[in-house]
Chain A
Amino acid sequence: MKNVILALIILISTKLSIAENLEEKGFNIAKSSYESGRGFTDMISDQLMILIDPKGNKVTREISAKSLENLDPNDGDKTITYFETPKDVEGTVMLSHTHINEDDDQWLYLPALTRVKRISSSNKSGSFMGSEVAFEDFSAGDYRKYKWKYIGEEVYEGDLCYVLESYPIYENSGYTRRVGLTDELLRARKIDFYDRKGELLKTVFFENYNLYEDKIWMADSMKVENHQNKNATIFQWQNRKLNVGLDKKEFEKSSLMRLAD
């Protein structure tokens, strides 16, 4: 009898330790993947956002952006987004200071209003500019925003990939679960998003990877397919440059305020 109990205890503890290992393994891969994309110091790029409805009608929006890497492991990057089309929104600028598991700080300059507005919203799980991308998806690779679990390996487009499951820590997230593929170069290739009722909502494909600065792989195309409403969005990065020596002061609220003067 004693032996049986002992055997059970060993069995259960190994099971538990495997579970723990899977979570740790997942976390470590996610962390390495995230870190492999770091070290860019700052970055500029032009972005094309193409919205495609189920009938195939396309709407294109143009944005350009600057980002500043934040080396503080407990805080997020700073970005400035310039909106260029449609013509009516030309000159609109958004500055955001992202944070890991608290609300971002966001300032918006509206040229038609000639004022800067600070917008705090606790809930940014919604569609970004009518696309299939949610605000929270822009930090999809930030390992600090999720709990992780290593599931196994799978060949995707000829490459061996780790299958990672992740669960958002962010309380107002629109998702309950994500299942992603990360290849051996630690690049995220594809992520399936499951909505609040646990059903497959959309799939994000990261494509057109380019090696920047001889060390950082960045996807210059992101395709999102919504399985429920059959809409799709394609994001394309152009003229991406890293480590261009941007002025840190540019990323402060004061520089935005200067636009309003």
Chain B
Amino acid sequence: MNFENRVENFAITILNHRIKVVFSSIILIMLISSGIRFLETPSGYRGFVQDDFKYYQDILELEEKYGNIDVLTYVIKPNKGDIFQKDVLKLIDELTEASWQTPYSSRVSSIANHQFTEVDGDDISIDNFIINVDELSEENLSNLRELAKKEDSIVNFVMSESTNVGLININLEMPEDIAFKKPIDFAWKQKMIFEEKYPEIFVGVAGSAQFSHNFQSVAESDASKMYPGFLLLIIILTYLLLRSVMSSLIALLVIIFSILPSLGSAGWLGFEAQPPLIAAPIIILTISLAHAIHMLSIALTNMNEGMSKNDAIIDSLKINFTPIFLTSFTTGVGIAGLNFGDIPAYSEMANTVAVGAAFGFILSITLLPALFSLLPIKSNYKESVMLFYLKNLALLIYKFKERFVIIISLICIYVFSLLPNLYFDDYFGSYFDRVPEWVEVKDIVDPEFGSSFFTFADIETNEPNGITNPEYLNKLDEFENWLVQQESVADVSTVSDVVKNLHKNMNGGLEEYYKIPDNKALIAQYFLMYEFSVPYGMDLKNQMTADKSSSRMLIRTNYSTAIETVAFNKEVNLWIENNLKPFRTKGVAGIPIMMPHLFTENTNGLLLGLLFSFSFIILVVGLSLRSLRYGIISVVPNVVPFILGFGILTLFTDMVTASHQVAVLISIGLVVDATIHFLSKYQKAISMKLEANEAIQYCFKYVGYPIIIASICLFSGFIFLTQSLFFNNFVIGGMCAIIIIIALLIDLLLLPALLLIFGKKA
């Protein structure tokens, strides 16, 4: 029994048990889909890295010693003037006070509660920097401004150098596995309250807590805003294509039933609903839609030609079984290449799509024919006018086949010459550039402070009380002085600053004493004194260990790209190696260090993934065509769209990010589908002893239309993805859309011309 007969028997069995098939598949799908409730809320940037990622481990180690690194920041900027106005200081003072109520907060620091020391001989008084705002005169305000500018721990930490922007930093001690929703919701409520009370002053929410929360809020808002619209578009599109309400309903059911259980499986597997996962349903939808269109359009055509409903769908299954299987398979394999990367969120998205592709295939050959046979369907299917144009196109290509190949080759060569300009990099500062609230705050913070992120360095002495050693503090100072000269660094704060300040204050407040004293005992006594005169939440516990064997540097970091960060980190390590002895450190750690490294390593992994997916797919296509010649020809339409796609990218940017690679891995399996359909039909035509030009006509007639339709579906799916608030999704959507359209053009223009020149003649 040959393969076609087996498929036919299979189809007949399905139709004989159609009610059982429908019910059992619905029950099974409901069961699997119920896993959706286990989809985990994204844990922000922490969910974006693998637990054993070196740069994340560095952060965890740091947190074990000094507490959680996450900060929630209020950004305060008056519409006019700087922060030294009564209203602004009053707002900062009140909001600082209110900030103690933030869930999970452990400390709050702002210019208002900054501990300011006044010295009068041997009398030292320590108080909040801002007190009795109501009684401040203009003169007081300008005095405060001058004083604030001189305080190292104010400038660049709670106030910008220009004095135009004030910050309130709230350290959060988050319990494990809890997202930032509570503190963020609290902060946004405060923002509303204070902006209403002080309409002339802008209050924004920033910091790593907001950054982390963006992952969750973006995923949620994307899902609720994008999906309904996209579903509607698909319903309209299906109806326009099939002109049959019942057929559209079947297509819709197959689509939804492919998406739900794949998300359910994601839930059962414990995946997180990170923003990249948002793309999964859209990709699954387009694949299943393409399957359904292929199946239904042929079945409806058959019915038009007089076949019975059951015979029509059996015939359609016979024709479509192999291409549907192959396209599902290549899509799954292509996207599975993402598992070579280092970002779990992308692997999880890929695996969800792969599962969806499998469901799409299974349902298209079981549920779809069963439903088609069960439901009352009348065919109003008309051959599209498009066929007429396609026929003319085929003639045109036949006439000018050499010119087509030469022109497209020239374009390719030109574009190819642009590609060396491209370079791999990433810029984590841009992730949420499509979230207006985030950008609004970013545009204020970044020019004034570099970014709202901090980097840290844990400097160890290996002996208890070692940090009171003047040699150690001088070394910190040396390190700090070197760091502030680096482009990635905006400012640095260390415990040596605390000592210098104390030394000054204990010596009548004279500037000349703003230095590290050369006496270990004295420094130890300064710390002792400092330690019993500080208010709640302002102690040095987040800066030094209890046994005073190590201290933590706080580095305010500018946004920089992955390349810049990796280079910066290398230089830091080099400096440490050459200069830090006898003290030790593991180097700098923090979000601005981790994210760029994550993407650098991810890029390397993805390149391997690309190699895997490309070679695997080309092999599969070659094998399925059972011909080296066609295997080689097939490489052209599968590679050229990517070259041209990246050529178009150079018009916008030369930076190739991980997102662009992800786009390639997503689209490779989709691009190849059309080639498979076209080449298999061409082979069939040749075996039917058709002349080359007739063979091309045959291909255009039978697969031209479905290829165009499938491409339009995919294209619109990816255009929808560009509406995502997650910048990476926007890039992926845009890139995939471009590649899909180019692939369509190549399949319709270049591939036929190539076949005419290099294909076997009948």
Contact = CB atoms under 8 A, between A and B. Distances in A.
Contacts of B464: 59, 86
A118 B465 contact: no
Given A113-B525, A197-B105, A174 B125 contact: no
Interface stretch (B96-104, B255-263, B388-396): B96-104
Contacts of B523: 88
A120 B124 contact: yes
A124 B539 CA distance: 10
Interface string B573-588: 0000000000000000
A123 B528 contact: no
Contacts of A124: 532-535
A185 interface: no
Contacts of B524: 86, 88-89, 112
Contacts of B124: 117-120
A89 B532 CA distance: 14
Nearest to A94: B532
A130 B115 CA distance: 17
A107 to B, nearest CB: 9
Chain B, interface residues (CB within 8 Å), range: 35 or more
A126 B545 CA distance: 16
A109 to B, nearest CB: 9
Interface in B232-269: none
A190 to B, nearest CB: 21
B495 to A, nearest CB: 13
B199 interface: no
Interface stretch (A17-25, A50-58, A72-80): A50-58
A55 B125 contact: no
Given A53-B546, A121-B125, A127-B541, A134 B536 contact: yes
A111 B526 CA distance: 11
A195 B537 CA distance: 11
Given A120-B126, A123-B127, A196 B519 contact: no
A112 B100 contact: no
B69 to A, nearest CB: 14
B103 A197 contact: yes
A5 B685 CA distance: 99
A112 B106 contact: no
A228 B106 contact: yes
A126 B101 contact: no
A114 to B, nearest CB: 10
A45 B533 CA distance: 23
Given A113-B506, A115-B122, A124-B532, A88 B106 contact: no
Given A112-B525, A113-B522, A117-B506, A59 B125 contact: no
B547 interface: yes
B536 A92 contact: no
A129 interface: yes
B173 A125 contact: no
A110 interface: yes
Interface string B546-563: 110000000000000000
Chain A interface residue bracket vs B: 35 or more
A200 to B, nearest CB: 13
Interface in A16-60: 51, 53-55, 57, 59
B529 A108 contact: yes
A222 interface: no
B179 interface: no
A126 B525 CA distance: 18
Interface in A169-188: 172-174
A116 B522 contact: no
A254 to B, nearest CB: 14
B540 interface: yes
A121 B531 contact: no
B606 to A, nearest CB: 38
Contacts of A117: 122-124, 506, 529
B536 A196 contact: yes
A125 B534 CA distance: 7
Interface in A204-231: 228-229, 231
Contacts of B173: 228-229
B548 to A, nearest CB: 8
A180 to B, nearest CB: 19
A229 B67 CA distance: 8
Interface of B: 64, 67, 100-103, 105-106, 115, 122-128, 173, 464-465, 468, 506, 519-526, 528-529, 531-541, 545-547
The 5 closest A-B pairs by CB, nearest first: A174-B536, A88-B524, A112-B522, A125-B536, A123-B535
